[in-house]
Amino acid sequence: MPRHARLKGEFSVYHIIQRGNERKSLFFSDDDRFRFLETLLRMKKKYNFLLYAYCLMDNHVHLLIDDNGNDISTLVKSINVSYVHYFNRKHKRCGHLFQDRFKSELVDDDGYLLEVSRYIHNNPVKAQMVTKPSQYQWSSYNIYTGGVKDKSGLIDKERILLSFSNNRSRAFQKYMEFVGTEEGNQVNVMDVEEPMGEDNNNDKFIKTMEDGRVKIKEMLERNEISYDELNSHIIFRNKLMREIRRNSSLTLKQIGELCGGVSESRVSRILTKLDG
C-alpha cells in the first residue's frame, strides 16, 4: 500500500508521535530520558523551533512543535539521528531504534492546540502509569502548572497559558483545571495506536494490565507454577517478560509489576539480555 504524502504547512504547529521500532523501548534509564530532553533543547536552539509540550512514554514520544518556518521532517530526523547515535553507543547496539516514519497531524487552531496539549499531558494517566499528570516526571505538565522551573527554556508555554489568563498564577490554576477535565466529545486527537487490522488488534496482543494478568495466569497454570513462585523460576520469568514485551504496548514498569514486582531497570537489563 503506497504511503500518503505528509501534510505540511509553512510556519505550522504539529502533533508528532515517534514510536520505537517494533514497539520496543526508547529509554532504558532516566539517563536516556534526560539525554533525549537535552537533544530536544540542542536542536531547538539550532533550528529555533518552538516546543509547546512533550511526553516521553516508554516506547513512544509525543511532541507539540511549532516548526517556525523549518521543515518538520528535517527537525524530527535531526532529533532522532542525534539520540540514536547516543543510544546505540551507550547500550552497545546497532540498527533502527525509531519506527521509520513518524506520525504527525497539523494543529491548525488554538482550540485544538489546547486539546492536544491536554491529551499529551494525560497520556501517562491513560496508560495507567500514574493517577494524575503531576505525578509523571517525563512530561512538560509540571512546567505549565509552576511545579517545575524550566530554567533551560525548553518549553514555550506562553501561547497556551495566555489562552486562560494574563495572570500567571491564575493561568496555572486554570490550566490544571482544564487538563483535569474530560477531553471534548467532538475532539479526536491523533493516537499512538495502530490502525485496525494490524498486529496489535489480534487476540494475542496485550493492551491493558488486566490482559497481562490473564496472560500470566494462563502461562503459570500451563507450567504448574504458582504466582508466588514466579521469582524462583528466573528463566521462565524472563521468558515471560520477553513474550509480554513482544506482544504488548505495556511499559517496562508495568511488565515488572506484573512479573513479581521486578524493578523497571532490571526489566530493561533482562529484555536487552544483559541480565540472566
pLDDT-derived band at 275 (thresholds 50, 70, 90) equals very low
Quick one: which of 80, 65, 52 has its CA closest to 12?
65
Whether the CB-CB separation of 262 and 233 falls below 8 Å is answered with no
For residues 139 and 55, the answer to whether their CB atoms sit within 8 Å is: yes
Taking CA atoms, 147 is separated from 118, 197, 232, in Å, by: 17, 41, 42
From the CA atom positions of the chain, what is the Rg in Å? 20
Give the closest residue to 147 by CA, choosing from 112, 157, 57.
Answer: 157
- Find, among 222, 245, 248, the residue nearest to 233 by Cα: 222
Whether the pLDDT of residue 187 is over 60: the answer is yes
Q: How far apart are CA 221 and CA 215, in angstroms?
A: 10
Higher pLDDT, 86 or 9: 86
Supply the pLDDT for residue 9: 53
246 has pLDDT over 80: no
Q: How much is the pLDDT for 199?
A: 43
What's the pLDDT score for residue 115? Answer: 94
Decide if 146 contacts 172 (C-beta within 8 A): yes
* Better pLDDT: 64 or 236: 64
- The pLDDT of residue 41 is 97
CA distance 163 to 160: 5
State percent of the chain over pLDDT 70: 87
CB atoms within 10 A of CB 26: 23
Q: What is the mean pLDDT of the chain?
A: 85
Pick the CATH number of 13-180 from 3.40.718.10, 2.60.40.10, 3.30.70.1290, 3.90.600.10: 3.30.70.1290
Question: Residue 264: pLDDT above 50?
Answer: yes
Query: Could you read off the pLDDT of 125-180 as tens digits, one per residue?
Result: 988 889 999 999 999 999 999 999 999 999 999 999 999 999 999 999 999 999 99
| Sheet containing strand 60-66, strands side by side | 50-56, 60-66, 13-19, 103-107
Higher per-residue confidence, 78 vs 102: 78
DSSP annotation of 232: G
The crossing angle, in degrees rounded to 10, of helices 234-246 and 264-271 is 80
Q: Where are the domains of the chain?
A: 13-180, 199-271
Listing DSSP states for 106-168 in one string gives EE-SHHHHHHHHHHHHHHHHHTTS-SSGGG-SSBSHHHHTTSS--TT-----HHHHTTT-SSH
pLDDT tens, 190-217?
A: 777 644 334 444 456 777 888 888 888 8
The string of pLDDT tens digits covering residues 76-100 is 999 999 999 999 999 888 878 988 7
